[in-house]
Amino acid sequence: MNKYTKWYNQIIGRAKGRILKPPFERHHIRPRSLGGTDDRENIAFITPREHFICHWLLIKMTTDEEHYKMLNALRMMRAENPGQKRYKTKITSRVYESIKVEYARLQSEKVRGKNNPMYGDKFFRSEEGKQRQREAILGENNGAKQEEARQKITDSKKGKKREPFSEEWRANMAVKKKGENNPRFGVEVLESTRQKIGNKIRGRKQTEEEKQRRGEANRGKVKPKQLCPHCQKMIAVNTYTRWHGDQCKQNPGRVSDEN
């Protein structure tokens, strides 16, 4: 037993015979990534500072793959996002550098050579690789298509509306995407692709829920209109170019699809 294991066991031993006042945290004595369970015997309630120290000691107590996992666990304890701000514990620049350098080295070794997903004939480098990649994200294997994941995305966006884009933003975007700057510029859509798209939407009926959602989204909006010089009608701009202007039936110079 090295000194780090001894110190680790002392912290866990103290935790088992006391009652803590908040704040305290739930710690897996044997980490789950190393085979630990959620059983009561494998849980210790310790202070945030002790929790951080325990994970620091765990990287000293482990080797090889287990060491890599514990190093990553300690690194993630310092991660912060809008929903997680856990630790205010200060780490010296030398300790931080040591953790980052060692993690980078192990990460590099982990994806080197044949362990690299881009090695050899994997993925796009061969037809076999393409097929393996396709199967890996097909159907239920695709996390974004799993019902539980889709429901989480729906719940996270329900009732939220983004701020409308400003006119300045729209104008800048129109300039950036115009002509050759448009990623679809010059792209020819195959007739077979057009057929697939048509077959997919042909005969599709909207559910009542879809109709209601679309109605609520558009209710109260006033669509700008434009005067057609040929039929003298005010037409919504979103359909103007398709049925009016140069395409208006009353335009003498209109070139019909039949010609």
- DSSP annotation string for 71-118: HHHHHHHT--BTTB--------HHHHHHHHHHHHHHHHHHTSGGGSTT
Domain-embedded: residue 198: no
Residue 227 parent element (H or E): strand 225-227
- pLDDT, position 91: 61
Instruction: Count CB atoms within 10 A of the CB of residue 28.
Output: 16
Within a domain: residue 100? Answer: yes
- Do 36 and 29 form a contact (C-beta atoms < 8 A)? yes
What burial class does residue 8 get, using C-beta atoms within 10 Å of its C-beta: 0-12 exposed, 13-18 middle, 19+ buried? Answer: buried
What is the predicted pLDDT for the residue at 6?
Answer: 94
Domain contains 171: no
Domain coverage including residue 245: 223-259
Q: For residue 152, is it within any domain? A: no
- Are residues 74 and 86 in contact, defined by beta-carbon separation less than 8 angstroms? no
Which residues in the chain land under pLDDT 70?
78-93, 95-97, 99-100, 117, 120-125, 256-259
Total domain count for the chain?
2
Tell me if 40 is assigned to some domain.
Answer: yes
Residues 6+ apart with CB under 8 A from 103: 71, 72, 75
Q: Is residue 176 part of a domain?
A: no
Backbone angles phi, psi at 199, to 5 degrees: -65, -30
pLDDT of residue 120: 66
Q: Is residue 236 part of a domain?
A: yes
In a domain, 146, yes or no: no
The pLDDT value recorded for residue 105 is 81
